[in-house]
Chain A
């Protein structure tokens, strides 16, 4: 657990970067600091490992005031991942990852063995061990950065815009990877980003900072989207927050309706939309009975379907998107194996949302 107690940071030029911050980042959870540039989010993060010293107030890590700890000792117990990875260009990947174990006095063989373990954990093949950082792609370098931060198994992990310099596809996979790692490792993570979507995706709780280092709101992502504390948070959270907020509403209890299915080669019902499936009842696309006029279903006539609503891991957002993106207006609900269970309409989703609100969900 990381606890900020009335922490203020003023720089010598008079600017206040962080203004009386009171905040608790829960143990084993991902806490995201988000806000526009100059809001003090990075300064707050860097005060946790004493890269920056607060002007007043105190910070406690697992109950101990960090001001009483030797900075170098403290930092060896706190993983740190930064933008552009900050890898040592003159050291091989395995030695980069082994940095903190070596600083802690492990022998070289043990530190390297541990480093190879960590490389596998973050999805890097051991063949990369002898390469230098310049020989890796940006996404791979960022993985090495994460492995290096985790090498000595620190309970706390600080991440300073770690994924902002890689392209969107790689960023998404790194985010998913982080969530997978976190579900295995349960670190106390503080993650800084300027990207609200990243914050909402990764955070168990999200702290929105405003310029001048004031904490504007600190809540779970669903609450942030449905009940922004003020106009600043509302505008920062951005467009479509009602729609995005549906990600945090469970689709349990959403009724799944019937859907007529047909196989390729069978006669297609006229005048209606029919869902075409394969032998395993996995959806292939839609058959438009109005334009086809009753003949057998030809694979070339299929209209591509919309997104699929996976009932196992579903949220109302996935259900609504399935309905909205389907050419027939009915979203296709599937099970974990991708087999068709039935269909849902946008109105079903809205009714489920209303029920959730009545039941007191923060939507």
Chain B
């Protein structure tokens, strides 16, 4: 505990940094994955190509990506953009499939009804298909969030900030307390973001938990 009390300022700074590395990629990744998932859902070939490509991206080792990106992007090795881009790639890789599946799960009868009411395709997507896909997309976003928060720690190995710094630093300077607190904080952060997304999803979709009662009230 002594170490913690003596280093509260450092811990706060690393936590903020950690969130700064992990949250923007989630948002950017989601915004990229939405049109890609929609595209994947349009044609069978589109789906095969996009989803396999996404799967392939996710298999690139994160450490390799952190090292390779500066070369590709022409950035300095410790430029935070590298982390943001790398984690965005993973988020997109995870979410393209989720978005495509979520849109495919919207009942065709509802989509057809919307078309027959006179929705234009774009308006139908925004007003009917996307809202109905929210529960599944949020579930995918929770996985992506936990994944991003844990992957940020890998960046610390090559010198980025974030809570992972407490692992490397604690290991080099032999402070077990620092390592333990780092692990606990990463876990807590992941759980907190996961919980927030869960609540957010429920607030957005009050109708989703009614589904099981459908027909039973006849």
Contact = CB atoms under 8 A, between A and B. Distances in A.
Interface of A: 49, 51, 72-76, 80, 82-84, 86-91, 99-100, 103, 132-139, 148, 167
B213 interface: yes
Given A86-B109, A89-B211, A73 B118 contact: yes
B116 A90 contact: no
A100 B114 CA distance: 10
Interface of B: 109-110, 112-120, 123, 128, 131-132, 205-208, 210-211, 213-215, 217-218
B116 A135 contact: no
B218 to A, nearest CB: 4
A37 to B, nearest CB: 17
A88 B205 CA distance: 13
A134 B117 contact: no
A75 B210 contact: no
B114 A135 contact: no
A162 to B, nearest CB: 12
A76 B118 contact: yes
- Top 9 closest pairs, chain A to chain B, by CB: A86-B113, A76-B118, A75-B118, A134-B210, A134-B214, A80-B116, A137-B218, A132-B207, A72-B118
A72 B120 contact: yes
A80 B113 CA distance: 8
A103 B118 CA distance: 7
Nearest to A74: B118
Chain B contact surface mostly: helix
A336 B79 CA distance: 89
Contact of A135 (B118, B131, B213): B213
Given A80-B117, A88-B128, 8 more contacts: A51-B116, A76-B117, A76-B118, A90-B128, A90-B207, A103-B118, A134-B214, A137-B218
A51 B114 CA distance: 11
Nearest to A100: B117
A51 B119 contact: no
A134 B213 contact: yes
A211 to B, nearest CB: 24
Nearest to A136: B217
B119 A82 contact: no
Nearest to A75: B118
Contacts of B214: 133-134
Most buried by B among A51, A103, A138, A139: A103
Nearest to A104: B118
12 contacts: A73-B118, A75-B116, A82-B113, A83-B109, A86-B109, A86-B110, A87-B113, A89-B210, A132-B207, A134-B213, A138-B215, A167-B218
A80 B118 CA distance: 10
A283 B65 CA distance: 90
A250 to B, nearest CB: 38
B210 A99 contact: no
Contact of A90 (B118, B205, B213): B205
Contact of A89 (B116, B119, B123, B207): B207
Most buried by B among A88, A91, A100: A88
A135 B213 CA distance: 7
Contact of B115 (A75, A83, A87, A100): A75
A134 B207 contact: yes
Given A51-B115, A73-B118, A76-B118, A82 B218 contact: no
Contacts of A138: 215, 218
B142 to A, nearest CB: 20
Contact of B109 (A74, A84, A99, A137): A84
A134 B118 contact: no
A80 B114 CA distance: 10
Most buried by A among B109, B113, B205, B206: B113
B218 A139 contact: yes
B129 to A, nearest CB: 10
B132 to A, nearest CB: 5
Given A73-B118, A75-B115, A82 B109 contact: yes
Contact of B210 (A73, A91, A135, A167): A135
B211 A134 contact: yes
